[in-house]
Structure 1
Amino acid sequence: MCLFVCMFSKNVKFCDIAVTAPAGFPDHPHRGFETVTYMLQGAIMHEDFEGHKGTIEAGDLQWMTAGRGIVHSEMPAAQGTQKGLQLWINLASKYKMIEPRYQEVLSKDIAEAEDDGIKVRVIAGEALGIKSPIYTRTPTMFLDFSLKPGGHLQQPIPNSWNAFVYILEGEGIFGNMISQPSNSHHILLLGPGDGLEAWNKSSKLLRFILVGAEPLGEPLVQFGPFVMNSQEEIDQTIDDFENFANGFEKARHWTSESQIN
């Protein structure tokens, strides 16, 4: 079983994923963007044609820059349902053909801060005076907030950025005090302004993520797992992948262990 709840915007694709073996994400290519995988429950094993291999467990983060090309697999590594979040973040045209790379952070190493009923895990960007060590080519914030009952948050967001909130658990009020409460699995798109204000007026914990990024202001064309700036570049990418060229050479003789088994 594999369940996706996805949101698309100009430069970001966001998915809430639940997957149970034998389902998963067998060998598939990417080019032109970054994937950010944040596990909430269970574990996913990652493997690619560059020889990179590892397991992302609950609370861990993987920030993968596909760049000019990668073929990889992502398959369940534990019993039961594996749950996580994944962002696709577009790369500016000058970065689309760079070499693939990874930034991986174990749960224990993710920057955290607490203040007055608020806890935050700073995956990218800055909150409560704490900065993430993750380097983002597209200026990005990715914050995991937990508000205790009675908690009140004010989080700055650059005025020109696009941002959204996704509620993981509980119920909260966002924007202003007279807004209707929103509960788990709701997405709230934020308009321009001074940032995010949120209140937890319930008797249970409120947990949500805040994602924001600076618009690139460039054309965008997506075809499946490829994100480029023009149809011509998409056509070239398909040709490169089918002919094992320009970044996909190693795909000719590679199959993931999970697919062999």
Structure 2
Amino acid sequence: MSVTIRDATVMQEGAGARVKRHLPLPAFMNFDPFVMFDHFELSPGTGFPEHPHRGFEAITYLFNGEIEHRDNLGNVSRVGAGGVQRFTAGAGIVHSEMPSVEETTSGIQLWVNLPKRLKTRQPSYQEAPTDSIPEAAIPGGRERRIAGEGGEVSLLTEALYRHVTLEAGADYELDLPEGWRAIVYLKTGTAEVNGNGLTSAQAAFVEDESRIHVRPTSASELMIAAAHPHGEPIRQRGPYVD
């Protein structure tokens, strides 16, 4: 059983975007099948201008503001706080993500690797506005199911992705299928994940555990991504994951 707590590395990406990065980093490139995890913050005029991708799927989930996606498939769409944009790069896509309001826009961008057999799949795009994301009260908080069981966003990898808000002293448990691994990111607050202390902007990387147990010691907001690893070599080079 293993839970590793990791700090984020603050850096610049795109055109002036500030990110708190957990993946990829020189000492920790990926966590199969997850190949990028960025908590980004965009001020007006910054963002991610047109650039190419291939070999993975990306989910952009917004906490506040609004972002516009454009791609070479002809898609143009905007989502606001609580909304999601997902693209499957597959054989290749060219896109941009830029803030479309005069206020700070922030969220999480998560990249999920595609298995080798799906690397050449045709690219696709999905928009999920905030009111399409299932949300429910849970003991001591609320849970939004972005992808996986009961979620709105479709992925080609068997995975789940949740946004969880908890009050201090709540108990949140999530059972994991055999062989799955998970990233538990603490956006705000303080909490224990399987007995390990976590503070704001830290992430717990969970392996060989059958359950995730979160006990917040103050009001907390978390993102949880979990999936079964593909178990294949990952060749990650900037915007490409081959």
For residues 220 and 201 of structure 1, what CA distance do their matches in structure 2 show?
37
Residue 103 (str. 1) matches residue 122 (str. 2) = no
Letter in 1 for 2:121: I
Q: CA deviation at 1:147?
A: 1.1
Name the structure where strand makes up a greater proportion of residues.
2
Counterpart of 2:200 in structure 1 is 184
State the number of aligned residues.
219
What's the secondary structure of 2:177's corresponding residue? coil
Matches within 5 A, 1:131-150: 131-150=150-169
Larger Rg: 1
Quote the sequence identity (%).
33
What's the secondary structure of 1:134's corresponding residue? coil
Counterpart of 1:200 in structure 2 is 216
Name the structure where helix makes up a greater proportion of residues.
1
83, 96, 108: which is aligned to 1:85? 108
CA root-mean-square deviation: 1.4
Q: CA deviation at 1:141?
A: 1.1
Structure 1 unmatched ranges of 5 or more: 229-261
Q: CA deviation at 1:134?
A: 2.6
TM-score by length of 2: 0.86
Matches within 5 A, 1:213-232: 213-228=227-242
Runs of 4+, deviation exceeding 3 Å? none
Letter in 1 for 2:83: D
44, 56, 61: which is aligned to 2:84? 61
Q: CA deviation at 1:43?
A: 1.0
The answer to whether the 8 A contact 1:64-1:103 is kept is yes
For residues 55 and 205 of structure 2, what CA distance do their matches in structure 1 show?
25
Counterpart of 2:33 in structure 1 is 11
94, 98, 110: which is aligned to 1:71? 94
Structure 2 unmatched ranges of 5 or more: 1-15, 24-29
151, 158, 176: which is aligned to 1:157? 176
For residues 160 and 59 of structure 1, what CA distance do their matches in structure 2 show?
30
TM-score by length of 1: 0.80
